[in-house]
Amino acid sequence: MPLGTLDRTPPPFFRQGPSALTKLAVFSALAVFLMAADSRLKYIQPIRAALATMLLPVQRTLLIPVEMVQGGGQYLQGLARAIGGEREARAALVAQAERAARVEQLAQENNRLRALLELRPGIAVRSRTAEVLYEATDPYSRKLFIDSGSTQGVALGSPVINEAGVLGQVTRVYPLSSEVTLLADKDSAIPVLNPRTQQRSAAFGGVAGDAEGMELRFLAGNADVQTGDLLTTSGVDGVYPPGLAVAKVIKVDRKVDSGFARIQLQPTARPDGVRHVLVLEPMGAQMPARPEPDAAMVKPARQRAGKR
């Protein structure tokens, strides 16, 4: 083979291109230029958007197995929770059905006893729903405002309750809103009854160091009150209907050096997170008017007072 026909160029493996330092400098400068162009002139944004659009179907396809595994696990967990919730709901339904049967039986028995004793029927409590607007900003009081007022028929002194029990009482009425003083307010007081002992007392708000607390006052140190007792409305004040949950006894402090016991309460109805309430008509609005004092008896009393 003639020597002139031989290819004297080195093979690709032995070819020497630009040095590594030169390549590093060129690509570093290119990277800096692209970053500056992207941040200043937004040249790379259309390319990035186009690439993201093109790769989206691929990403969706690759995520299908992952989503199937996750969805299957969530489905099985949700199915187990649903089956457990169904069992609990069935058990609660059976218990409520039994309780409803007992309540119906007791109601019928109560009606028969009232008819036998010729007692007047129980007073029907009228009510209306309302929504909580906001809570008062005064840090020294516990009050909130509802969206019903005198235009909607709300009366001064109306009890306000929710599904947990008594929240408070309407203390100011405006045309389209009302102010509700909560049980924990320092000026709040409510007559209560201990169903376990049938003992009546009064619960007051404004416990020092506890913004949500209440307490029983003026009870003897040996009074039969235990931790866990549930106190309800007594119904003797002409405002609250009887039997509404008010508070639960959480602490009984029987001091030896004092004749009274300090009994701390926790309201059953917490105002935090309440959105809808029920405004009841005061019981006094449905009760018969108090009889006027006899003039023949008032006159001698005034004469005796004048002689003194």
**Separation between Cα atoms, residue 199 and residue 11, nearest integer Å:** 109
Using one digit for the tens of pLDDT, what is the confidence trace for 287-296? 666 666 665 5
Predicted confidence at residue 290, as pLDDT, reads: 63
Confidence of residue 283 (pLDDT cuts 50, 70, 90): confident
For the whole model, what pTM was predicted? 0.58
State percent of the chain over pLDDT 90. 24
Find out whether 276 and 269 touch, Cβ atoms under 8 Å. Answer: no
> What is 121-148 written as a DSSP string?
PPPPPPEEEEEEEEE---TT--EEEES-
In degrees, rounded to 5, the angle at the alpha carbon of residue 167 between the alpha carbons of residues 192 and 248 is 45
Confidence of residue 117 (pLDDT cuts 50, 70, 90): confident
State percent of the chain over pLDDT 70. 81
Predicted confidence at residue 173, as pLDDT, reads: 93
> What is 195-240 written as a DSSP string?
TTTTEEEEEEE--TT-TT-EEE-S-BTT----TTPEEEE-S-SSSS
Q: Taking 60 as the threshold, does the pLDDT of residue 308 lie above it?
A: no
Any idea where the domains of the chain sit in the sequence? 25-119, 127-285
**3-state secondary structure at position 274:** coil
Q: Which of 173, 169, 180, 172 is nearest to 145 (CA)?
A: 180
Q: Answer with the residue of higher pLDDT: 19 or 184.
A: 184
**What is the pLDDT averaged over residues 297-305?**
53
Q: Answer with the residue of higher pLDDT: 141 or 293.
A: 141
CATH 2.40.10.340 holds for 127-285? yes
Predicted confidence at residue 291, as pLDDT, reads: 65
